[in-house]
Amino acid sequence: MEDSKLLIASQKAEKWLQSGLDTETCNQIKDLLNNPQELIEAFANDLEFGTGGLRGIMGVGTNRMNVYTVQMATQGFCNYIIKTFPKQKDLKSSIYRIAIAYDSRNNSKIFAEVTANVFSANGFKVFIFESLRPTPELSFAVRNLICNGGVMLTASHNPKEYNGYKAYWTDGGQLVPPHDKNVILEVNAIKSFSDVKNQKVADSITILGKDFDNIYINEVIKTLLSPASIKNHHNLKIVYTPIHGTGVELVPMTLKKIGFTNVHIVKEQSVPDGNFPTVISPNPEEKAALNLALELAKKIDADLVMATDPDGDRVGVAVKNLEGEHILLNGNQTATILTYYMLSKWKENKKLKGNEYIVKTIVTTELIAAIANDFNVEYFDVLTGFKYIAEVILENEEKKKYICGGEESYGFLVGDYVRDKDAVSACAMLAECAAWAKEHRKTLYNLLIEIYCKYGFYKESLLSITKKGSDGKEEIKKMMKNFRQNPPTSIASSKIVCMKDYQLQISHDFTNGSKTTIEQPKSDVLQFITTDGSIISIRPSGTEPKIKFYFGVKEKLTSPNDFNATGLKLDLKIENIINSLNVK
């Protein structure tokens, strides 16, 4: 197995050496030829589009992010767009159009520029931002400028060694089947770098600047629901950190424009830097990434703490608990608060007409579904990946009214003018919600406990197991195969009543032996539901060498006074589930 991988890697490396690449790249390839294991890692496989597009470690090779893999991906994307819209029948413009943005990561600007060059060389009108911008603004630009697609150069919240290439379709959403696989087919059809057109056509490239920022921010402002609450509590103490990323300009600008006057930015993290010097990982899901923000929050006694990841699509949140200490909310809790707040205000403002809906992913808390049912608002469950939320919005355009959607991994989208998770609008809505809560003499933490008392205390947890290296994917495949072919009959002494296999698209009801079809695209995901209502979901990550285990449990909460004790009970239940699976 290893010998065959080495042979494949060597052949591909030699082909690259014969393709007229720059001297530095050629020297790096020659060094790799003397290091078999690194050669295999760099060349044995090709980067593929997953739930987040093209993403990988930066470096030389077909399995690495570099100017050559970016150019080849771009040429394949160009070819697919041209084949799909041969006469531009579905768009108002007669010229192919593309929008491009990039974040603060090392090489993102270079990758964006070579992407723009390839598109312009292929006859596209290119719109590229003058400097780093958040992902949601790129999605907005695709729609606002009536583009055939878009490209965002980012690896989102991954460590500094990574970069990525998010491809967007005409609706402003990331590529979904069959487009994602078809783009890869076009990329694979390119046999050499000579097939890539990369001669820049300067006249075809338009620079987007602050004027476009204002257009986007104005759309964010239109979604707000409680302007009076903001006016009455404009001095709400807010701490914000962009974690060296793209939110540094737009989030504070938006908060100021909607009326908040007491926003404190974490100075040490306010400079865009692809090395992310103040954190181990620029991921707002990890507490360490918010340490500096929490220190500042404690110092000024902040009401709300918000942190966005490098490309500004995910938001981490901290609020004061009952003891006045700042604690982190997880993505499920943030999405729950925002969903409940928005549905409450839509109902209060008499905006619910009967055709509204919300969306969540299958691994996101079922509490959101309970809230939607209570408000008689339809909800959709979709596969993991915000592109599937965008797909539902596209399918229901002009038929139903989208309100909001979220996922457990800290992504949320308010309104449909953007078709990807949007931390800029989420920050604005969270700040407004905090002001609204203060108007009612409560905090966001109080609000969350009230929601638990009304609908049940739902608690979720995530266990990610990393399998690095060329053998990592194989190990993950074996784990999924074992769970699929030898499913447990019970988990933590609770009998399994249902197993959902999204790859086979079959739901097994073990109480009566029936099988029903799952109306979702095929995906390598398994879900087990137990008699006590616990939900265990298992899936390989689409963007990282990980297999992820999602746990959802619930209990009744009769009083806020029982919150801590019930929380500990749920923690123990999750711990027992993990021990029962024996996957640590």
CATH number, domain of 538, equals 3.30.310
DSSP letter for 65, please: B
Backbone φ, ψ for residue 162 (5° rounding): -95, 155
Instruction: Determine the pLDDT at residue 90.
Output: 47
Domain-ending residue, one of 421, 436, 455: 455
**Cα gap 522→180, rounded to integer Å:** 14
What is the residue range of 83's domain?
50-208
| Furthest CA-CA distance within the chain | 71
Same domain, 161 and 295: no
Q: How far is CA 474 from CA 1, 502, 517, in A?
A: 12, 20, 28
Give me the tens of pLDDT residue by residue for the chain, a chain 584 residues long: 577 899 999 999 999 998 888 999 999 999 999 999 999 999 998 877 665 568 899 999 999 999 999 999 999 999 999 999 986 544 555 689 999 999 999 999 999 999 999 999 999 999 999 999 999 999 999 999 999 999 999 998 889 999 999 999 999 999 988 888 888 888 888 877 889 999 999 999 999 999 999 999 999 999 999 999 999 999 999 999 999 999 999 999 999 999 999 999 999 999 999 999 999 999 999 999 999 999 999 999 999 999 999 999 999 999 999 999 999 999 999 999 999 999 999 999 999 999 999 999 999 999 999 999 999 999 999 999 899 999 999 999 999 999 999 999 999 999 999 999 999 999 999 999 999 999 999 999 999 999 999 999 999 999 999 987 767 888 999 999 999 999 999 999 999 999 999 999 999 999 999 999 999 989 999 999 999 999 999 999 866 788 999 999 999 999 999 999 999 999 999 999 999 998 86
What Cα–Cα distance (Å) separates residue 361 from each residue in 331, 406, 524? Answer: 12, 7, 14
End position of a domain, from candidates 12, 27, 44: 44
CATH of the domain at 81: 3.40.120.10
Same structural domain, 478 and 438: no
How many CB atoms sit inside 10 A of residue 232's CB? 15
399 with 285, same domain? yes
Going by their DSSP bridges, the two strands 378-382 and 401-407 should be labelled as: unpaired
| 3-state DSSP helix/strand/coil % of the chain, to nearest 5 | 40, 20, 35
Residue 51's pLDDT is what?
A: 52
- Which one of the listed residues 104, 120, 156, 409 is annotated catalytic? 156
Question: pLDDT value at position 274?
Answer: 97
Residue 232 pLDDT: 98
Q: In this structure, are 290 and 423 located in the same domain?
A: yes
Q: Quote the number of domains for the chain.
A: 4
Helix spans in 126-226 (H)? 135-144, 179-188, 210-222
User: How high is the pLDDT of residue 541?
Assistant: 82
Distance CA 230, CA 263 (A): 13
Active site residue 156: yes
36 plus 56 within the same structural domain: no
In terms of phi and psi (left: phi > 0; alpha: psi -120 to 50; beta: otherwise), the region of 469 is left
Final residue of a structural domain among 455, 485, 500: 455
Beta bridge partners of 315: 308
Give the span between the Cα atoms of 509 and 483, in whole angstroms. Answer: 17
* Same domain assignment for residues 343 and 471: no
Are 463 and 447 members of one domain?
no
Shared-domain flag, residues 401 and 482:
no
What does R_g of the chain's alpha carbons equal in angstroms?
24
Question: What pLDDT is recorded for position 88?
Answer: 59
Q: Report in angstroms the alpha-carbon separations of 59 from 132, 160, 406.
A: 22, 12, 33
Q: Which residue has the tokens 């699976």?
A: 581
Shared-domain flag, residues 170 and 274? no
pLDDT recorded at residue 545: 81
User: Does 536 lie in the same domain as 480?
Assistant: yes
d(CA 400, CA 483): 38
Q: Does residue 380 sit in the same domain as residue 245? A: yes
The pLDDT, as a whole number, for residue 93 is 55
Can you give the pLDDT at residue 382? Answer: 97
- Indicate whether 246 and 202 sit together in one domain: no
Residue with tokens 């919300």: 358
Per the CB < 8 A criterion, the answer to whether 418 and 448 are in contact is no
Residues 403 and 191 sit within 8 Å (Cβ to Cβ): no
Q: Which residues pair with 149 in a beta bridge?
A: 98
Nearest to 144 by CA among 430, 418, 513: 418
